[in-house]
A and B are shown apart, each in its own frame.
Chain A
Amino acid sequence: MTATSTELARKLSAAVEKMPAFPKSVQRVLEITRDINCQPKELVMVIEKDPVMTMKLLRILNSAYYSFPTPITSVNQSVVYLGINTIKNMALSFAAVGVLPPTNAAGFDIQRYLMHSLTTASLARMLCQKFGADDTDPTDCYIAGLLHDFGKVVFAQFMPVEFKEALAMSEEQATSLHAAEQKVIGADHSLVGAMLVEKWQFPKLLTETIRHHHGAILPGNTLQSCLFMADQISKKLSMGNSGNLVVEELPPALVNRFGGDMDDIIAQLGDLTGMVNEAQSFTKGSKELMA
């Protein structure tokens, strides 16, 4: 390793280290609530095990907006007063934004980033359900989509000057953001994202998928194929913006894998309005929560 790359590696790991933990409970809330008939007690159990989520919930409920005869001190009590549906939606909004910083010095738009991540997540899950030929879990595709660009949040938060320059370069020269990051920083968000997800102890397959989400596509890897395709569709249909508007070319191997080009696949996914609206209301709700 040269002196420069050692220095870079040190800087990147320092940034990753500073990121807050991504609680397992957030993953579980995402999983459980996907089922409209999810068991209320399961959700209560997950929230109870996460002190941060519990605190946030109780803080809002005990705020001046509700004058409960006695303060709400447990998750069960909150379900009795407000109903499982309200608590579920509150937990979901925490889940989506729990680890996102409200502002950053790079001028990176977190709301639009979140919109891109949420739509990529949903699209990746849909693609897996529709085209997955092996036993890849659609939930993993969802999580991959949600987290794939998290490296950008690390950059925005802890290397704001360089990241701002990369964002500007990508926009001015109409080049992809990861290429601009390579030029300005010497590493791109897929590497840092993978480091972060590794730190969060996600499965190796997920870490590797994020590491290579701009790299060579292995059509046999369903997780990677669905994530790549979802990422491009989200950009092509302008659902949100993660600082990179360049839609990458579909490798021939993927055209074979999905049996058509991007337009064919989009057509096969059907009406996406509901999915986009859902992501939008999530993103909007997150704004107040981050404050």
Chain B
Amino acid sequence: MKIKFWGVRGSIPSPGPKTVRYGGNTTCIEIRTGNNELIILDGGTGIFPLSQTLLKELPVTANIFNTHSHWDHIQGLPFFIPIFIPGNKVRLHGSFDPISGEGVERVIAIQLQYSYFPVREVEMKSRFEYVNVMPNEAVTVGSATVTPVLLNHPVINLGYRIECNGKSVFFTGDHEPHTNIYNPDEDGYAEYQSLIDVQRQSIENAIKGVDVLIADSAYTIEEYPAKKGWGHGTFDSCIQLAQAAGAKILYCTHHEPTRSDDALEKVFAEALARHPGAEGKLDIRLAREGEEIVI
């Protein structure tokens, strides 16, 4: 299985001299199975450069899995060039939204409104399909199996575990570890804590033993208190999750848009220093645009 990062930035694209090493595009990850089947995790702006590389292997079948509908995970979708070329097949997977009562098709329907984008949905030339996936119900993509897992974010966010030929990768999308909404001295505390514990355990089980975990580490532990409830993890929470799940490699991603390359390396080194126990057991890396690994 091959994994390539096309966008590792959170929230908003951040080009410029201070982000050249890690990149400024928002979330997009390309996965190729052993049979070269194409799976794309999220359609942030990184999907545009990815789509240009696909032009030499047309027609393509692209299986896009959207973690959630926030802008930084969908804004590149209308620029995914294969959707405009006949013969290609694009399947967009995502979650049903309980607020609007609509499925993942709503993302495209809203993005391709006349005032926001010049091409209408009906004018897409590829075969475009929508698949509303459900937590814990695996989807087969050629030789791979993709299992959605419900995580914690201000909108429904599905993490995805992809397994193929005995290898596995898990991508969280955006995720903040659950916290108790009650104070320890309040009535609901114990009940809520037990609910959180069950959910945390089920998330860890879903990630158990993956070769690669790609996780949302937007904040440092110093920044986190001011951003609690915003739906993102910290470097430390990602390391803990990776350790608890027994992952082999952890990629920290969703880099803060205001964080320069130097600052990113600095806060990353500080987080590593806080977790000396991980050394030798867990390989912790910063996700970098353009990086490709084979597992």
Instruction: Decide: A69 and B134 in contact? CB cutoff 8 A.
Output: no
Q: Is A83 an interface residue (CB 8 A)?
A: yes
Q: Is the interface of A mostly helix, strand, loop or mixed?
A: helix
Q: Can you pick out 22 interface pairs between chain A and chain B where the beta carbons lie within 8 Å of each other?
A: A40-B181, A41-B181, A44-B181, A61-B98, A65-B96, A65-B132, A66-B134, A67-B135, A67-B137, A76-B181, A76-B188, A76-B191, A77-B195, A80-B199, A83-B153, A83-B155, A85-B231, A86-B154, A86-B155, A89-B99, A288-B100, A288-B101
Q: Provide the residues of chain A in CB contact with B150, threshold 8 Å.
A: 66, 68, 81-82
Identify the A interface with B (CB < 8 A): 39-41, 44, 60-61, 65-69, 74, 76-77, 79-86, 89-90, 93, 284-285, 288-289
B99 contact from A39, A44, A66, A90, Cβ within 8 A? A90
Interface centre among B99, B191, B196, B229, by most chain A C-beta atoms within 10 angstroms, is: B99
Most buried by A among B98, B136, B155: B98
Interface flag for B279 (CB, 8 Å): no
Which residues between 161 and 187 of chain B lie within 8 Å of chain A, taking CB atoms? 178, 181-182, 186
Contact between B152 and A83 (Cβ–Cβ < 8 Å)?
yes
A-B residue pair count with CB separations less than 8 angstroms: 73
Q: Note all chain A residues with C-beta closer than 8 A to B134.
A: 65-67
Closest-by-CB residue of B relative to A81 is B150
B195 lies within 8 A of A86 (CB): no
Find out whether the CB atom of B202 lies under 8 angstroms from the CB atom of A90: no
Q: Which of B98, B136, B182 contacts A82 (CB 8 A)?
A: B98
B192 lies within 8 A of chain A by Cβ: yes
Chain B, interface residues (CB within 8 Å), range: 20 to 34
Alpha-carbon distance A79/B199, docked complex (angstroms): 11
- Interface membership of chain B positions 208-252, coded 1 if the CB is closer than 8 angstroms to chain A and 0 otherwise: 000000000000000000000101000000000000000000000
A61 to B98, CA, bound (A): 8
Q: Which residues of B contact A (CB under 8 A)?
A: 96, 98-101, 132, 134-137, 150, 152-156, 178, 181-182, 186, 188, 191-192, 195-196, 199, 202, 229, 231
How far apart are the CA atoms of A86 and B151 in the complex, in Å? 13
> Do A83 and B154 have beta carbons less than 8 Å apart?
yes
A79 to B154, CA, bound (A): 10
Note all chain B residues with C-beta closer than 8 A to A81: 150, 199
Complex CA gap A85/B132 in Å reads 21
A75 to B152, CA, bound (A): 16
Q: Which residues of B contact A44 (CB under 8 A)?
A: 181, 188
Q: Could you tell me the distance between the alpha carbons of A284 and B199 in the complex, rounded to whole angstroms?
A: 32
- B202 with A69: CB separation less than 8 A: yes
Residues of A within 8 A of B156 (CB): 82-83, 86
Selected from A60, A66, A83, A289, the residue in CB contact (under 8 A) with B231 is: A83
Distance in Å from the Cβ of A81 to the closest Cβ of chain B? 6
In the complex the two chains form, is B154's CB within 8 Å of A85's CB? Answer: yes
Q: Are A285 and B188 in contact (CB under 8 A)?
A: no
Q: Are A41 and B155 touching (Cβ within 8 A)?
A: no
